[in-house]
Structure 1
Amino acid sequence: MFFKAAVVSIPLLGSAVASPLNQPSFKPSDQKVSPARGPSFIFNETSPTVDLDFHAESVSAYALQETYDASNWFSKFSVQNIADPTHGFVNYVNQATAQSKGLYKTQNNQVYIGVDSKTVLNSNGVGRDSVRLQSNRAYTHGLVIADFAHVPGSNCGSWPAFWMVGPNWPDQGEIDIYEGVHVNTYNQMTLHSSSGCVPVYNQNGGQSGTHVSEADCGAGGGFNGCGVQSNSATSYGTAFNANGGGVYATLWTSSGIKVWYFAARSVPANIKSGNPDPNTWGTPQANFAGCNFDAKFSNMNIIFDITFCGDWAGGVWGSTSCASINPSCNAYVAQQPQSFGDSYWLVNSVKVYSV
């Protein structure tokens, strides 16, 4: 959720060619940007941490540790009523407000997490109401499988993310599993860490995605991150939803971090049955290896959020087709509430297995 030094397919003015998302004037070295994943005070340092690395090789090693779904969601996630660390044009409301406004609820055994899509705002005001969630439980290693019926649509100004982060950022790292901005349809998976984590991407079966940013995940003090862009045009946003939703599976061990995306019709049977076996899933979209992951990533909580503009989406606004509609990202988000009617998560479940 930090400002990205990356390449993402976003339409440019008069062009359909992918464009670099960070220009020199946007680099953290030139512009101070506070940690988007939040300083340590945001996180509950007393929350339980579970080391899920049992170093077992068999399929039976993937034992279910936690299920987050409509039956227990509100007791297992906390609403973060905080100022946006990414400087977005957003107002993260508290749980009572979120529920009273219908931004956070369960429906048809699914969890809905959305934004205000009715109110015209002052572009110099506090920003559009949204909900940011953090799991009460923290993890070190695990197989995290998120089943989404719907993700926030590909809309100008929006910046949704599903990710994991440890306290004392960037020392305990960050794993961005699902993230993008504006009208993009290609997901980006990014690691942020302290300096010295330089992954390789051609080991243990390779990856189908493309490395698009820094070599060192700690570049720029951790702000830049090392990212991989999906090769699937249905892996993010509106295209993901039109394709029927799907599953993101993240395998985090001492030896690496891998991310798979499956459209709903292609979800492996062993995921559906609750007996996941990553060895049968084929090439992951992102495959980070070759770093001392145990030294860089630990004690991570799961986060959901939807912000607007800010350090990444706002920083690249002028290089996208969105700027032809309104020269200001904040002004567009303030004046076009109807554009965000599909800016919501609809979650079937998130399951965490031991590895």
Structure 2
Amino acid sequence: MSFATLEDMNQRRKHPYAENIGMLGESSTPMGPPPQYKLDRDDTLNPSPWNVRYWGWKKWAALIGGVIVIVVIVVVAAVEATKKSKYPNYSALQYSLADTYSGDSFFDSFDYFTGYDPSSGFVHYVPATEAQTLNLTYASASSAVLRVDTSVNASSVPNASTGRFSVRITSKTQYTDGLFIFDVVHTPIGCGTWPALWLSDPDNWPTNGEIDLMEAVNVVGSTENQVTLHTSPGCKMDVKRKETGKSLQTSCVNSTNGNAGCGVDAGTATFGTGYNDNGGGVMAMELRSAGIRVWQFLRSAIPADITSGSPDPSTWGEATADFPATDCDIGTHFRNQSIIANIDLCGSWAGTQSVYDKTCASTTFPTCQDQVANNSQAFTDAYWEFGKFSVYKAS
């Protein structure tokens, strides 16, 4: 082996890779710079977060959980969408007359509720004998009248300082289904009044439901009738409906919205002066497993089949209020329904200051209780007048 000259050694020092030259001899070829290693993103030293080959159980659990949540959301959304577009089959039923409430014996088919009002009304409901003595209920061949007493005031004996005399009647017969036709000639008017024509099972409320056909408060002129359902949990009306009235609430459950129920505004002059001046009309209600539908016909627009005694709801067009069974099992929520008519005074709706103040508060009678106790003449027009009630059963 020959020794390198001084000049050769100097050249090696200048070469950037001198350490790779010479030790192997003069014929050795320089190896060049070391290779540059680039770590691939899939390399185990630095894996991509999207590379499922390197996921741990936590990521897999999160993915599976997310997929389940998405699937549940999609399924629920699909079910709700289907529910909102679904509508029951109100196929025509053949009805035959089952019960009639009419003539001089109209009130014989009813029990009189007596005592204080369950809805906190400022009223004394009197029994049949006292109601007849005070002329609060009376009937003729063509009509039946139920009214509020106007003979006493706060200083009378007896007096109205703890509530005014009124009447609440409940039919002795109860119904689970049927077609109900109510001829209503006159609706009660007066500040402090809370009249209603309705159906319910008073001994099992709200379990067996409540159907309010005509209801209004503090009526001083023309107003809108409100048709409402009240139920136990599990009854909603945020579904497809076919009605001419305006929906006010969609939850029928008594524990929601201050027990407002799922009400429907029937429209202008469907209660009070305007309604009475037109001679009243007919309320028709069909109660069946498919749903509950209520029609309000003015006197001049009563269908001929109702007048003839052969009612056929399939020919009447859209109902005023439609409560389909889409999201409410009608057969479960409405049972043993009695027909009820009453005129409450003040109470948990008409008597609240915010409601009374809207149309009735005055310097003389600032509260509902003041009005009822001291203004007897305000109740001159506070009476129901009914023609005939007919109940039909499907055959």
TM-score by length of 2: 0.71
**Aligned-pair distance for 1:132?**
0.6
1:87 equivalent in alignment to 2:133 = no
Match of 1:307 in 2: 344
**Pair 1:351-2:390 in alignment:** yes
Is the CA contact 1:146–1:249 (under 8 Å) kept in the aligned structure 2?
yes
Q: Give the number of the structure whose residues are more often helix, by fraction.
A: 2
1:156–1:322: 8 Å Cα contact kept in structure 2?
A: yes
| Displacement over 4 Å in runs of 4+ | 55-59
Q: Check the 8 A contact 2:113/2:170 in 1, yes or no.
A: yes
Letter of the 2:372 counterpart: V
* d(CA) in 2 for partners of 1:308, 1:87: 9
Q: Deviation at 1:169?
A: 0.8
Q: Which has the larger radius of gyration?
A: 2
| Equivalent position of 1:177 in the other structure | 213
Which of 364, 380, 385 is 1:341 aligned to?
A: 380
1:121 and 1:128 in contact (8 A); partners too? no
State the alpha-carbon separation in 2 of the partners of residues 112 and 187 from structure 1: 20
Whether the 8 Å contact between 2:350 and 2:356 is mirrored in structure 1 is no
Q: Is the 1:132–1:306 contact (alpha carbons within 8 Å) kept by the matching residues of 2?
A: yes
Work out the CA distance in 2 between the residues paired with 1:243 and 1:56: 31
2:224 alignment partner in structure 1: 186
| Deviation of the 1:352 alpha carbon | 0.7
CA 1:218/1:93 → structure 2, altered by over 3 Å: closer, same or farther? closer
Q: Which residue is equivalent to 1:120?
A: 153
* 2:172 counterpart of 1:136: yes
Matched position secondary structure for 1:116: coil
Do the aligned partners of residues 105 and 354 (structure 1) sit closer, same or farther apart at CA in structure 2, a change above 3 Å counting?
same
Once the two structures are TM-superposed, the CA of residue 281 in structure 1 deviates from its matched residue by: 1.2
CA contact (8 A) 1:186 1:229 kept: yes
Distance 1:328 1:135 in 2: 33
Distance change (3 Å), C-alpha of 1:200 and 1:314 = same
Percent sequence identity is 39
- Asked which structure has the greater RCO (Cα within 8 Å, sep 6+), the reply is 1
Work out whether residues 152 and 238 of structure 1, in 8 Å CA contact, stay in contact via their aligned partners in 2: no
Tell me which of 346, 366, 379 is aligned to 1:327: 366
Q: 1:83 to 1:160 in 2, by over 3 A?
A: same
Q: Which runs of 5+ in 2 are unaligned?
A: 1-88
What letter corresponds to residue 165 of structure 1 in structure 2?
Answer: S
- Is contact 1:248-1:259 (8 Å) kept? yes
Task: Give the secondary-structure state (helix, strand or coil) at the position aligned to 1:63.
Answer: strand
CA distance 1:118–1:201, change in 2 (3 Å): farther
* In structure 1, distance between residues paired with 2:260 and 2:107: 33
For residue 323 of structure 1, report the CA deviation from its aligned partner: 1.5
Deviation at 1:280, TM superposition (A): 1.4
Root-mean-square deviation over aligned CA pairs: 2.1
Q: 2:279 pairs with 244, 267, 282, which one?
A: 244
SS at match of 2:319: coil
Q: 2:197 — aligned with what?
A: 162
